[in-house]
Structure 1
Amino acid sequence: MMYNGKYHHGFARLKRRSGVNFSEGEFSFVFRITARFAYRESKLSDKVMLLFFYGEETFRPAEKIRSLKKKFLKKNPSGAGLSEFDLSEDVDLGDLRRELSAVGLFTERRLVLVKDPFARSAEEQRVLRDIFAAADPAIVLAVWQRSLPRKQAVLFRYLLSAADRHLEFAPPKGVKLRRFLGERAREYGVSLSTPAAEELIAATGEDLFALDTRLAQAAAYVGCGGEITVETVRLFGADTRAGDIFSLAERLVGGEPATLTHLENFFISDGDGYRLLSLAAYQTRILLSVTDCFSAGLSDRYAIAKHCQIHPFVAGKAIKILSARRFSRRRLRAVLRRLAEIDLAVKTGRTDIERGLFSLACLAGGVFHRK
């Protein structure tokens, strides 16, 4: 092996000063490790690279986290240097502190993913702030809170100020939701018409995970370079019970007397309660928007569709429902508020989806048929 003059000089001087008779191979190992650390320190900044994602919508941040992991594993196929901590579970903060302060010998960058830090107490959140602030600069730290944190929380203010990039994710509505579907379709190598996007939303609801699943099925059917049309969506945009579940969502919102019987049959046949909840919320918001249009003097479905940024087909369906039943804004808001309460109760484990929807059916019946 050939070495330059500085290497030979360093080897001889170290042997002379230390008085230790180590081999040239041992010195070579120490020399390489020292050089690696010197190079690493010269390339890294003096602070950790911090990414902070938060908000009520979870599909898009999950995609970003997946993309981060994919890029990291492409450079580090062994997975060395990748760690994940879900703080909504029983995770020792001491383990997280050790992971963030440890220095990697053979990786220039490490990736640490931390989920739901705001699931911890206020005192633990202060500890987390100190742990994040003292993290090794060789780390890319991605923090993901799967909800909307309290804005006055100490940890939240720290993350907003210290993060190299912070993004809030709110559930997309209207034009933003259609734009998301269009972008997602392009990622699958296909195009999606606006009427097809509206049909997909009407048949599936606004849950991005469900929408993406249906979109992927339709994209696989039309093939790369193809176009997803309304007809395609009707083939792949919903399961065979799509008409039944949409009709049941209408009954839930409308508070029809026979809703409890239909709902019982729906669950007996293993219906998807989460999808039904999403559809009911979507339909209630549409009815509220169209009710506002009526108050503003609009009655034509195309004018209403343009004002509400929805497809004329959806606007026409809402007009038909509102014409058959006189829903006041106050009554619709009561149902929407109850839907939000059910969603929160199910997510926090205070009730299950079946019990929540039955309570909605009882409430809607009482609200709409109260004398």
Structure 2
Amino acid sequence: MMKNILVINSGSSSLKFALFDAGAMSNSDNTDQQVCVFRGQFSGLGTERTAVIMHAGNHAYATAPAEANDHQAAIMSLLDWLGQHNVLERLIAVGHRVVHGGMHYDCATRLDPDKVTLLDALTSLAPLHQPYSLAPIRALDERLPGTPQIACFDTAFHAKQPLEARQFALPYAMYDRGFQRYGFHGLSYDYICRCLPSMIPNYDPQARVIVAHLGNGASLCAIQAGQSIASTMGFTALEGLPMGTRCGAIDAGLVLHLIGEEGMTVAEVSKLLYKESGLLGLSGISSDMQTLLRSDKPRAQQAIDHYCYRIAREIGSLTAALGGLDHLVFTAGVGEHAAPVRDSVVRQCGWLGIRLDASANQLNQICISAADSEVGVWVIPTDEERVIAMDCVAMIDME
């Protein structure tokens, strides 16, 4: 009987799910796409535009889980559907994407109530993510007691960055208390790292790589020898690049001014920085890059220009941290599908000797660098769910 790993990747308005054949994963390479039995997503949770989509791979399913209005209903709908298809009795573990592991976790961990409580205490550091990561864990514990649940952390990939990359210039005792740069999107970066040897011809394991994870959340990571060297995100998932609704890097003095001089509450400032800024705030139109690219409004183009400028500027910073650059990889929704964004970013980084093949870029091909480019430029789709499943299999095999 096939043994399955269920993966849950829960966001603020979505819940992605995937089922993997654990036995096949143990006998396959890291990028084998056949071990995923199915995957799908509930989208628009908490809004009026809810939907569920399903991709069944080589397996045929007549139905998909019923649509749901919120996260709790989504996980219950998924579990009901899994029960109808006799999947639950074959589960050997459920893996979860958890955004913030704080100082406590630098690798995947098997969950228990005490660990969930510890992770819940980190909610203020990732308010758009942490509550939604933990809700399915609690629901599954009630519905499937005794089934191993494993948390895989977005912060773990960055846990071994050099001290100088992790510190803020605050009193050192605060670092020991956890006030440090954690970095995020680690599961995505981990997957890309595992893909590079098979995707890039004659890949040098010591190559200096910058990965641009550009989605509704966005960050860059400098990587060498599979190790995170530096990242644009820090203590929270707010820092760094402008994002769909998040402001990215901002002068801390401005935050103090908003509270002290403008009379805004902490809650109001949090809402401003997390939900009303970024592409949405700059454009006044949308947080969605494709919507902005289709718009003829001047503020839409201004928002795109600012976004690309900040990416190019941070690429310069991370290139300095690496001491040079051999490859630039674009991934996630915007990175994989927004050719004009890639074109603008690379043109602004021309001083690195980096050049695009315009046709390959327009077609979203894997290699989009020109023949005379001194830096390889790649578009590699990410797969956070697969990394979670692989970590779950590795953990189960060790037990």
TM-score (norm 1): 0.28
Q: Which has the larger radius of gyration?
A: 1
TM-score (norm 2): 0.27
Structure with the higher fraction of residues in strand conformation: 2
